[in-house]
Structure formats: C-alpha cells, structure tokens
Structure 1
Amino acid sequence: MVRPLVIKVTCGIEEPERLNQAFTVATAAVAAGADVSLWLTGEGAWLGLPGKAEEFTLDLATSLARLRDAVIAGGQLTVCSQCAARREIVEADLLAGVRIAGAAAFAEEVLADEVQALVY
C-alpha cells in the first residue's frame, strides 16, 4: 500500500532546483499510485495560474507545466490562502483543478493517518 503524500513547496522560480524537485517528487508519487497533495506557498502561489509554469525552464528537467498538469490530473494542487490573498490571486484566476485553501486544511491533511509530509 502506498501512503498519502503531502508536499509543501515554499519557493517559486527564484529557487528553480528546489521548485522543480517538489513537482518532480509529487509527479513520481502520483505515478506510483499515492494520494498526493501539493501545496504552493509564497512565490510558488503564482504557479497555480495559467501560463506561469510554462514560463519556467530548467536545464535537464521535465517541463514544469507537464509536471503541474500530472499533479492536477492525479492528485490535488492547492494555493495557500494567505499567499494568494497577499498576491491578490482569487479562485477565478486559477487553472481548472487548482484550489485555494488555508492552514486548517493543510493541518487536517498532514495529521491524517499514515501521511508522509515533505517541505521543499
């Protein structure tokens, strides 16, 4: 049995390798059959909007847009509510399948039985 995985990414494109690693691990876990929840915080919040992941490039890395789409298709992609508010991002701005949620939802996810949580 594969246990649930919650990943919080605390950076945006200013930390390209850390950002890419979070999305790569999330996508690999989706492919392995895990219940994956990827949280975007700080500058990472922008990646819940159309076109933002498409602007990102990193040598020898899978397209961030492709990784993002795999997480949306097989897991849950969430933008932190406070991070969204500070950037004036609202639900209507987000890609289909992306949500905004806050600390209570994050705490509920990471405190569930058998969950593995990672922070990048």
Structure 2
Amino acid sequence: MTSRLLLKVTCAAEAPERANQAFTVAAAACAAGAEVSLWLTGDAAWWAVPGKGPDLGLEHARPVEDLLAIVLDMGEMTLCSQCAERRGITADDVREGVQIAGAASFVEEALTEGVQALVY
C-alpha cells in the first residue's frame, strides 16, 4: 500500500523556514514514493502563480521553484479557493497542474483512511 501525505502550507515570506520545510517535506515524500497532495493557503497561495511566489532567501535551502517542480511532476497541488479569490487569482493564472478547491475538498482528503496530514 502506498502512503498518502496531505500537506497544507499556510505561510510564505513571513515564516520562511516553515514555508520551505513544507515544500521540502512534500518533495522528499514524492521522491520516497508517497502519494502527495500539497495545498497552498494564505500567502502561500502566490506559489500557485508562476513567478509570484516570494524568494525565501534561505541559505542551504533548495529553491522553492525546484521543490514545486518535483511536487507538480510527482504529486498533486491545490490552491485554496477562498485564498485565491481574496488575492484575485483565477484558474487562468495558476501553474499547469494546479487545481483550485475549497475547504470541503481538503476535509474530504484529510478524512480518507490512510492519509497523514501535516500543516505548516
């Protein structure tokens, strides 16, 4: 049975280490063969839009763009619909492979048997 990991990242430049850790864990889980679902909420929503996510400027950290590419290639990425609407982000704005969904979808994923959920 493949492990399923559900991650929600809620921060960006205001908490760079926490944000980077979320993307690092998501990419590492993909590389380890887990099914990964990464949700972008709050200011992390900007990473759903090419070129809009902040540079975290962390030494010794892999660039978020590299980590996002891994997750988009090997996992799933979802943008919170309310977060997108508050920021004026539409489906036409997001990276290829990013879906937009609401809290009910997150809860449904989180309550699926065998899912481990982490919030950063």
Q: TM-score, normalised by structure 1?
A: 0.95
* 1:92 alignment partner, SS class: coil
- Contact 2:13–2:54 at 8 Å: present in 1 too? no
Which residue does 1:72 correspond to in 2? Answer: 72
1:89 aligns with 2:103: no
- Contact 1:81–1:100 at 8 Å: present in 2 too? yes
| Greater fraction of residues in helix | 1
- Distance in 1, matches of 2:55 and 2:24, equals 17
Show structure 1 runs of 5+ residues with no match. Answer: none
Which residue does 1:115 correspond to in 2? Answer: 115
Decide which moves more: 110-119 or 50-59. Answer: 50-59
- Contact 1:5–1:36 at 8 Å: present in 2 too? yes
| Aligned length in residues | 120
Q: CA deviation at 1:2?
A: 3.7
Q: CA RMSD in A?
A: 1.2
Which residue does 2:20 correspond to in 1? Answer: 20
Q: Share of identical aligned residues, percent?
A: 56
Instruction: Give CA-to-partner distance per residue, 1:13-67, whole Å, 9 cap, x none.
Output: 2210000000000000000111100001100000100013473431100011000
Letter matched to residue 47 of structure 2: L
- Contact 2:37–2:77 at 8 Å: present in 1 too? yes
Show structure 2 runs of 5+ residues with no match. Answer: none
Q: CA deviation at 1:10?
A: 0.9
Which residue does 1:38 correspond to in 2? Answer: 38
1:10 aligns with 2:25: no
